[in-house]
Chain A
Amino acid sequence: MVIAEQKTQLRILLIEDDCVDGESVTRSLNKAFPNCGVRRVRCLGDATTAVAASEFDVVLADLSLPDSRGLESVVTMVQACPQNPLIVLTGHADDELSITAIAEGAQDYLVKGRISPELLQRSIRYAIQRHAMLRHNDQLLETLRQRDLLLQNKNQKLEKACKTAQKFVDNVSHEFRTPLTVIMEYASLLADGIAGPVSQEQAKLLGVIDDRASDLNNMVDDMLDVSKLESGLLGASRSPCTVAAIIDHVLPAIRRKAIVREVQLDVEIDEDLPDVFCDPAKVGRVIVNLAINAIKFTRNPGRVCISARRHGENDISIAVSDNGVGIPADRQREIFQRFAQVKTEIRDSTKGFGLGLNIAQELVDLNFGKMDVESTEGEGSSFSFTLPINCPVEVTRRFTSRLAAGQEGTGEVSAIAIAIEDDTNESVIRDVERFLVHLLRQNDLIFALPNRQWLLLVSVPSIAMDDFLTRLNKERVQINRNRPRGPLPEFQVRVEGTWNVAERAQDIVQMVDQQLGEENYCVA
């Protein structure tokens, strides 16, 4: 950017039809810039020809010319030579016209008759400098626009690539499951004696086939989870749930495995546990992964215990313990890494990807809990994890600190309140809630408020708020298109604000506290 003092000769174009005025301005110019070259033309037509033919550093133009008058001259000149700064010369100090002239792109205006060499010098220098800055600014903006476009394109391509990759993983896992289903079904069909009588020994072996096939199925689930965790596509539908219901849901599969491996399985759930706030399906996967590990590593006679109890003021702790080989103290940290497995004397049953614990830990983190391991070599291990109880303020606190600690995201959280009409019935309310949950990603949170309202905390910066609201609307229209029970009701959407999670976490917590009224929601 050349803004500094002109070193070379200034080339000035003067547009002035009046001879006397022309002479006087030229004189002042020569005084102001002794080495300058002044070219004078008498009308706008000549001026446009002149700027097209040769270069100038600055243009001085009278506003009343034979072929153009007033503002029109300014507009024409700015269009004809956008590369040159334009200074307007007026016969009288008419502020209105002069200010409009500057709005149209002139850099300055001078009143003829009051022109001095000093004034000219300053005005021309400033005009050149300002004009150069403006042009530079325009260039920067243009570059920014192009970069933005480029980024948008790349982002679209990446999103598409990501979705394609995910689709591929989905398809592959589906292809895996089809033969698995047949293997498992035939094994259990034979074991049940449907294809003819089987001996006890045969039934036991068939049980092993079924068991190992279900291991394989779990591995496919693990791979799906890992790929989704990795791409950030894993959703999290966190809501208030009871611990017993979560454990009951996964217990049959674990029990089946324990029976085949001849492991005693105990379940100890403390009574009067408060509800927890989590994604029940994800927590179920954690329990399954821990239990499969525990069953794998117990030693005869094998014993595994799944227990749940209160942990401090704000948490429930779920533990899976075994009487297995244990983990050496110096290796307890690395077992949570992907593909890690502790080498033990139990060779036959330790096969697997070693993804289980790593996934379990990530899923626990997703549910604002902490994973822990206690193990004594030769005595057994106990893997436990915590889940926050259903207390929105505490959950919000963990949500913000998880976001603040994470690398992903912009570090901003926006709160959106969503309400529907009063006369909607229960099943519609449930469907709206399900829709909102489906819309959210793992770094978002939803709380149900009384009176058919929800509070969404989404990790969307204010700059991308419009995009999010557009997406909300688009998905709602899409759902409505084939919803058997008619379209979802209109949403009243109100953006409550946007906060930086690192700097204003307390404000977010306070806002949630105000919106929900803690005493109604917090379980003592």
Chain B
Amino acid sequence: MSSLISKPSRTRNRPLQQAVQARLAKRKANGKDGGWSDPSKATRTPRILCIDDDPEICRTLEMRLSDYQAEVLVAYFGTQGFWEAITDHPDLILMDVSMPSGDGRFVLESLRNNQATEAIPVIVLTGMRDPELHSEMLALGADSFLNKPIHFDVLLSEMQSFVELSKRPE
């Protein structure tokens, strides 16, 4: 994996806590709302990366968001998700926990340990009900934790607290 990380020697040794603090500070510095309401960015379509090993989950999100001004990127396993995040810089990441080739913990840790991705908000969406998993993912730097199955209106309002999602004009 080290080849994917832009500056392995610097980023990998950085403690997670430090990285997360830096990420929070950076987001704060970008303005009260974390940057997405910045007028220069408002005109840009938000890009949302969905990482889930079930392609149908990714597809439902694509279909749902086809009505909204948003671009949906998809990845079907952990390392692919991390690669997409590094190369495409999405504005929001929606992520499953149990996946082949790099689970949610791995992806989250990698994202938070890399300068290019450390500030991207991450919503964890899982079918697991373990309360410890909840606190674990938040400790690793997830911004939100939701349970599957979820009704789209709930998911939408959660996504809207991180990116601006408006309906496409008819």
Are B63's CB and A177's CB within 8 A?
no
Are A479's CB and B127's CB within 8 A?
no
User: Chain A residues with Cβ under 8 A from B152's Cβ?
Assistant: 185, 188-189
- Is A181 interfacial (CB-CB < 8 Å)? yes
Hey, what's the 0/1 contact readout for A152-184 against B, CB within 8 Å counting as 1?
000000000000000000100111111011101
- Is B158 interfacial (CB-CB < 8 Å)? no
User: Chain B residues with Cβ under 8 A from A175's Cβ?
Assistant: 127
User: Chain A residues with Cβ under 8 A from B57's Cβ?
Assistant: 178, 181-182, 185
Instruction: Name the residue of chain A whose CB is nearest to the CB of B54.
Output: A178
Are A482's CB and B127's CB within 8 A?
no
User: Chain A residues with Cβ under 8 A from B24's Cβ?
Assistant: 484
User: Chain A residues with Cβ under 8 A from B67's Cβ?
Assistant: 194
Are B16's CB and A482's CB within 8 A?
yes
Residue from the list B132, B140, B149 in contact with A482, Cβ < 8 A: B140
Report which residue of A173, A479, A483 has the largest number of chain B beta carbons within 10 angstroms of its beta carbon. Answer: A483
A348 to B101, CA, bound (A): 44
Are B149's CB and A483's CB within 8 A?
no
Report which residue of B21, B56, B98, B140 has the largest number of chain A beta carbons within 10 angstroms of its beta carbon. Answer: B56
Residue from the list B128, B149, B150 in contact with A170, Cβ < 8 A: B128
Range, interface on chain B: 20 to 34
Which of A213-221, A378-386, A491-499 sits within the interface?
Answer: A213-221
Are A195's CB and B98's CB within 8 A?
no
- Is B130 interfacial (CB-CB < 8 Å)? yes
Report which residue of A174, A178, A180, A486 has the largest number of chain B beta carbons within 10 angstroms of its beta carbon. Answer: A178
Within 8 A of B (CB), among A441-471: none
Range, interface on chain A: 20 to 34
Hey, what's the 0/1 contact readout for B12-27 against A, CB within 8 Å counting as 1?
0000110011001000
User: Chain A residues with Cβ under 8 A from B130's Cβ?
Assistant: 170
Distance between A216 CB and nearest chain B CB, rounded to angstroms: 10
Instruction: Name the residue of chain B whose CB is nearest to the CB of A193.
Output: B67
- Given the interface pairs A189-B60, A195-B63, the reply to whether A485 lies near B17 with Cβ below 8 Å is yes
Residue from the list A214, A221, A434 in contact with B129, Cβ < 8 A: A221
A241 to B63, CA, bound (A): 39
- Given the interface pairs A177-B148, A484-B16, A484-B21, the reply to whether A186 lies near B129 with Cβ below 8 Å is no
Supply 30 A–B pairs (Cβ within 8 Å), ascending by A: A173-B129, A174-B98, A174-B127, A174-B128, A175-B127, A176-B127, A177-B148, A178-B127, A181-B57, A181-B148, A181-B149, A184-B151, A185-B57, A186-B56, A189-B60, A189-B63, A194-B64, A194-B66, A194-B67, A213-B149, A214-B149, A235-B131, A256-B151, A438-B132, A438-B135, A482-B16, A482-B139, A483-B139, A484-B17, A484-B21
Residues of A within 8 A of B (CB): 170, 173-178, 180-182, 184-186, 188-189, 194-195, 213-214, 217, 221, 224, 235, 252, 256, 434, 438, 479, 482-486
Residues of B within 8 A of A (CB): 16-17, 20-21, 24, 54, 56-57, 60, 63-64, 66-67, 98, 126-132, 135-136, 139-141, 148-152
